[in-house]
Structure 1
Amino acid sequence: PAAPAAATTAPAAQATTAGPTAAPAVKPTTAAAPAPTVAATTAAQPAAAAPVKDVPRNRTLVVTPWGQGAEIANPNNYNIYISTTWNHQRESGDKTVYEDLVYTNLNTGEIIPWQAESFKYNDAFTTITVKLRKGVTWSDGEPFTSKDVKFTLEMLRDNAPDLTYSTVYKEWLKGVDTPDELTAVLNLTKPNPRFFEENLARGWENHQVVMPEHIWRGQDPKTFTNFDLAKGWPVGTGAYKLVSSSPQQMVYDRRDDWWGAKTGFKPLPGPERIILIPAASDEATAQLYIGNKADSGNPLQPATFEAATARNKSLQSWHAQGPVWGAPDGCGYVFTFNHTRAPWNNADVRIAISYAIDREQLSTLGYNSANYPIVVPFSAYMKERWLPGKLQEIIDKYDRNKRDLNLVAEHMQAAGYAKDANDLWAKDGETVKVPVRGPQFFGPLAPPLTEQLKSAGFDATSVIEPDSSTAWNEDLTTGKSDTIYFVHCGSISEPLNTLQDLHSKNGPPVGQKCPYIIACTRYSNPEYDKLIDDMTAMVGSPDNPKYMDDAAKALDIYLRDMPEIMLLEELHAVVFNNTYWKGWPSEKDPYVAPYPPWEAWYLIINKLQPTQ
């Protein structure tokens, strides 16, 4: 989901041709894979832990990272705050070492308390009282208390913007009081009726987990590696501990002294061991699934998934039938503009590019029709509750979901452009150069999108950057890019989730990084900012007339100005292998959203049972 999603190294995209994509043959892989009896690699570790025992394959859960690469990055650094290109929390820590205060089943909205038993706002939405669960302990036996919550959140506040996640705490967190060991009171700088859910209870990707004060106090959080296997680091409250780490694999073994089992809160999880192994490409990942060398992890491109299921009938996705295999993940594919550069600061040019795009064809050619068109940054989680009424009326008013070359011409001429001798839009002898640039993970978008823009008169070039590249990420976040294809994520519970990403506070001067990779357009509109500020202070509900009125006005500005172009709903063909494990979530059993980089995937770990 990438939700962000993070500026993560991404899987290689399947090649896209001018016609419908054919299911590819799955090639052999050279990626590392576990043997039937799984022993751990012990190389590249600064301190030796106890010898790693053998665990049979049918008691071992093997997962791949959410993102592709030939090796695991930074195997000796478990600091989740210092890297946006590889984060151990989202790749394996959220399944093993770390737990959340509260999870949410995003399919239903059900709140699932975990380290905490409850949270409650005051009437002004300026304080949040969090009651912690009695008996929660860290993996080294120390009690988990409100002091850990206070230390973690205030550490982030005090180290903004240098640490990942920190900016939101700098803006919103005044401080944390600890009236007793099981009570933490979060004091906010201003009213926010959704602060706890958005940052500490959603169970979504890259949200905040609590760190042990007794380990982190006195450390520089910008340089602390949080890694020493001999000392039992990283320390978490989760049911697993890291026992081996190398570029080839990370191995976590179940802790039979886990607090959840000791207190009777939950039984021990089924897997005795969890292994993270890398795979270098989409096809290499498929080969791991086909050969039962991996149980879940990175999704496959739709055509690759269909080819893999033909060879291994134990593989499933969220939906039992295609072409739409995936569940919503709160994200949509987006073509984003840098508003500090001409001509992207001209709304007519942006609107013209939107009318050059045939979204349905992008899905057909790029994704085997596994995704559907969208024009606003709202995921399917939003549709039934929010779109009927005012918001749908605004969407219908602008009618942006169509390719119309007459409207392309109308808006380009309004921006002062005319066709040159090569039938390209130009002004003062310069054509409109449109880089269709982005990571390989979303590469299927690039060829058809490039061809559509070319045929509409734009000087478009496809630039799919390789797995190892972070150049697109760096340019996007620092304001040095032109146009990037990526995702706009966060559409989970209300319109504000994603509309707030266009607030001008997210657009620092060129050269400085924006706080969130999904919020880097550097669009600026005071009227829009005021609406977002007002919505932020309100309870988001379809039954709140003022909120809905502001949401409609903000959406009207969004579609009028087109600060970005939404393309398709992101619906990944997530993969679950039933050969060794059962109990996977699905459309028929939606007990949790199915995305491995989300913290709530830990709930899957706690439900899986061996098939043998």
Structure 2
Amino acid sequence: MCDKSDLSRSSPRPLALLGWGRVALSLLALSLLVLLAACGQGSSSSSSNKTHVLTVVPSPKGDFTNGFSPYSANANYGSQGMIYETLLFFNRMNSQITPWLAQSYDFSSDAKTLTFHLRPNVKWSDGQPFTSADVVFTLQMLKQYPAADGNGLWQYIQNVQAPDDQTVTVTLKAPYTPILWYLAGQTWIVSKHEYASAGDPTKFVDANPIGTGPFMLKSFSPQLITLKKNPNYWQPGKPAIDEIRYPAFDSNTSAELLLSRGDVDWTGLYTPNIEQTYVAKDPAHNHYWFPNRNIVMLYLNTAKAPFNQLAVRQAISAAIDREQIYKVAESGYEPVASPTGLVLPENQSFLNPKYANVAFAKDPNKSQQLLESAGFHKGSDGIYVDSSGKKMSFQIDVVTGWTDWVTAVQIIANNLKAIGIDAKVNSISFNAYYSALQMGNYDMAISWTNPGPTPFYLYNSLLNSTNSAPLGKPAPSNWERWMDPTTDKLLAQYATTTDQTKQQEALYGLQQIMVEQLPSIPLVYGATWYEYSSRNFTGWPDKNNAYASPAPFDFPDAEVVALNLKPVA
């Protein structure tokens, strides 16, 4: 009888992926494949102990590094949601709000005081009671360590108090309507008794996390994270899953092999020809759903020359063959994005009518005209140089093993070389990539955006100067370092009113900035990669029952999905 818990001890460290264009399988994936096959198909273990195990691959990152602080840039899968929870759950598929650690909330009449009424009888996984003191501590911790305050809460908060064990009162400096999403839906509540001595939560390892979530850490290795059911979880009878296992993979290709064999229950992978490679192998159980979720952007580091010049940004944008990215790199799954930065048609009601027909078009001649009008000229090697003779030679960062994005970046690099910009693909580890974006240590990079209940949240994350930072300092989300008073004014206009007409006016203005100023360059719509097998578990979200964002890399949505799953009898 095979015990899959041995996976954590038996898997060797993976080798680097041998190039994005090859069907390369790492030793890690091969060893997992052999062991999973020896244990039988599916993720439930033997019938003798009836342990219901969910095997999940959110996205390839390579080896795991031990650490479960939800405020670390390298927080492991499961930390956010499965272990640490939020006060409320916002379903980003339909904007519905569900009480979570807070059973209710209310705003004062002047919208400057937000009060949360906490759920009684919630316990931490070590059995200690969860109280308002933990919420106040978490928020004060973010104030003390601003690098952890990725949503900039303390720009808007005056103070936080706990009138009693079940009540938290947040006083704002001025009305700020998005505070509910950022504070209650995107802030992970940690325990005072664990984190009081932890110091900076962005640097705290947290090898033995204590959360309120449905799961707790069972074991860790660089190749496999295993979570087990939290016996103190506050939702009666949940979860129905006994364990969640996250095996490490270094590429989409290696993870796809296990997916095609039926050895993984839930993935968030870019999978070419998914109907043939996955669905056709078990049409009754193998399913996928790829709803649009955000915008895949080409970030230009506007804190560095020449990307601080509009003509350069426009030239780069005009050179890109987005149709090729859509059809080749993304296998026809992710259509070309709107220049407005809106996810369409989902955000159609927010679209300024004057941009109803605006679209990107590849125009290399226009690119060259723009560069020459900005004072650049071609050298003897055909590469543009500036007035001082410095070549336009840049790297485009992308995560090794994210095969669709690597292909997209190669297309972009070829497009730029064709007009006279020396662009090179810089394929690096996820941790190195994420650090480079945060610290501003890059030229160009392909990356995601952060959606929310309305387009404001994507714009705010992407463009608000308070989410930026000087080069060498960590920026929470404005990684292109866009600093523009007009943009900030429009964001503030939306955030400080409940008047929907004024909010719509602000969104129209932000669309104009995206179209005319190109602070970031939209490429294609970012699909919610989501493949799942109903062989071992039922209750999965789909287009007819979108109770949460379905991707295993969306948090806290992944927790909600796990809580809705039930083992097949």
Same fold per TM (> 0.5)? yes
Could you tell me which residue of structure 2 aligns to residue 204 of structure 1? none
Could you tell me which residue of structure 1 aligns to residue 10 of structure 2? none
The separation in 1 between residues aligned to 2:17 and 2:95, in whole angstroms, is 33
How far 1:30 moved relative to its partner?
2.1
430-439 vs 132-141, which moves further:
430-439
- Which runs of no fewer than 5 residues in structure 1 stay unpaired? 1-8, 18-23, 39-52, 202-206, 229-233, 262-266, 320-325
Could you tell me which residue of structure 1 aligns to residue 173 of structure 2? 189
How far 1:302 moved relative to its partner?
3.0
Is the alpha carbon distance of 1:166 and 1:489 closer, same or farther for their aligned partners in structure 2, counting shifts above 3 Å?
A: closer
Please state if 1:275 is matched with 2:245.
yes
Could you tell me which residue of structure 2 aligns to residue 47 of structure 1? none
The separation in 2 between residues aligned to 1:414 and 1:384, in whole angstroms, is 36
How far 1:430 moved relative to its partner?
4.3
SS of the aligned residue for 2:121 comes to coil
Q: Deviations over 1:241-287 (max 9, x none)?
A: 322222232222224443321xxxxx322212222221232122112
Matched-pair contact (CA < 8 Å) for 2:296–2:448: yes
Is the alpha carbon distance of 1:111 and 1:37 closer, same or farther for their aligned partners in structure 2, counting shifts above 3 Å?
A: farther
The separation in 2 between residues aligned to 1:156 and 1:469, in whole angstroms, is 22
Q: Percent same amino acid among aligned pairs? A: 21
Amino acid at match of 1:433: S
Matched-pair contact (CA < 8 Å) for 2:215–2:230: yes
The separation in 2 between residues aligned to 1:239 and 1:36, in whole angstroms, is 28
Q: Deviations over 1:160-219 (max 9, x none)?
A: 22xx33561332222222222221111123321111213322xxxxx3221122333344
The separation in 1 between residues aligned to 2:454 and 2:512, in whole angstroms, is 20
Please state if 1:485 is matched with 2:446.
yes
How far 1:599 moved relative to its partner?
0.8
How far 1:468 moved relative to its partner?
6.1
The separation in 2 between residues aligned to 1:583 and 1:282, in whole angstroms, is 25
SS of the aligned residue for 2:343 comes to coil
Matched-pair contact (CA < 8 Å) for 2:58–2:551: no
The separation in 2 between residues aligned to 1:332 and 1:549, in whole angstroms, is 22
Amino acid at match of 1:245: F
How far 1:72 moved relative to its partner?
2.2
Matched-pair contact (CA < 8 Å) for 1:37–1:55: no
Could you tell me which residue of structure 1 aligns to residue 414 of structure 2? 451
Amino acid at match of 1:64: V
Map 1:472-551; keep pairs closer than 5 Å. Answer: 472-499=433-460, 501-516=462-477, 519-539=478-498, 544-551=500-507
Please state if 1:437 is matched with 2:401.
no
Could you tell me which residue of structure 2 aligns to residue 610 of structure 1? 567
Could you tell me which residue of structure 2 aligns to residue 142 of structure 1? 128
Is the alpha carbon distance of 1:268 and 1:14 closer, same or farther for their aligned partners in structure 2, counting shifts above 3 Å?
A: farther
The separation in 1 between residues aligned to 2:166 and 2:48, in whole angstroms, is 37
Q: Deviations over 1:389-440 (max 9, x none)?
A: xx241464xx451112342233223212344555544444444224233223
Could you tell me which residue of structure 1 aligns to residue 114 of structure 2? 128
Could you tell me which residue of structure 2 aligns to residue 573 of structure 1? 529
Please state if 1:245 is matched with 2:220.
yes
Amino acid at match of 2:454: S
Superposition CA RMSD, Å: 3.2
When the two structures are superposed, what TM-score results if normalisation uses the length of structure 2? Answer: 0.86
The separation in 2 between residues aligned to 1:173 and 1:12, in whole angstroms, is 46
Moved over 6 A (4+): 11-14, 24-28
Match of 1:60 among 47, 53, 58: 53
SS of the aligned residue for 2:527 comes to coil
Please state if 1:175 is matched with 2:159.
yes
Q: Which has the higher contact order (CA 8 A, sep 6+)?
A: 1
How far 1:506 moved relative to its partner?
3.3
Please state if 1:287 is matched with 2:257.
yes
Matched-pair contact (CA < 8 Å) for 1:107–1:592: yes
Could you tell me which residue of structure 2 aligns to residue 590 of structure 1? 546
Please state if 1:87 is matched with 2:72.
no
Could you tell me which residue of structure 1 aligns to residue 83 of structure 2? 97
Could you tell me which residue of structure 1 aligns to residue 32 of structure 2? 32
Matched-pair contact (CA < 8 Å) for 2:125–2:231: no
Is the alpha carbon distance of 1:358 and 1:468 closer, same or farther for their aligned partners in structure 2, counting shifts above 3 Å?
A: closer
How far 1:150 moved relative to its partner?
0.9
Match of 1:336 among 296, 299, 308: 299
The separation in 2 between residues aligned to 1:457 and 1:128, in whole angstroms, is 54
When the two structures are superposed, what TM-score results if normalisation uses the length of structure 1? Answer: 0.80
Matched-pair contact (CA < 8 Å) for 1:35–1:57: no
Matched-pair contact (CA < 8 Å) for 2:151–2:182: no
The separation in 1 between residues aligned to 2:128 and 2:363, in whole angstroms, is 64
Matched-pair contact (CA < 8 Å) for 2:396–2:443: no
The separation in 2 between residues aligned to 1:156 and 1:55, in whole angstroms, is 47
275-284 vs 24-33, which moves further:
24-33
Amino acid at match of 2:243: R
Match of 2:182 among 182, 186, 198: 198
Matched-pair contact (CA < 8 Å) for 1:289–1:315: no
SS of the aligned residue for 2:434 comes to helix
Matched-pair contact (CA < 8 Å) for 2:319–2:362: yes
Matched-pair contact (CA < 8 Å) for 1:64–1:276: yes
The separation in 2 between residues aligned to 1:420 and 1:395, in whole angstroms, is 40
Amino acid at match of 2:398: G
Could you tell me which residue of structure 1 aligns to residue 329 of structure 2? 366
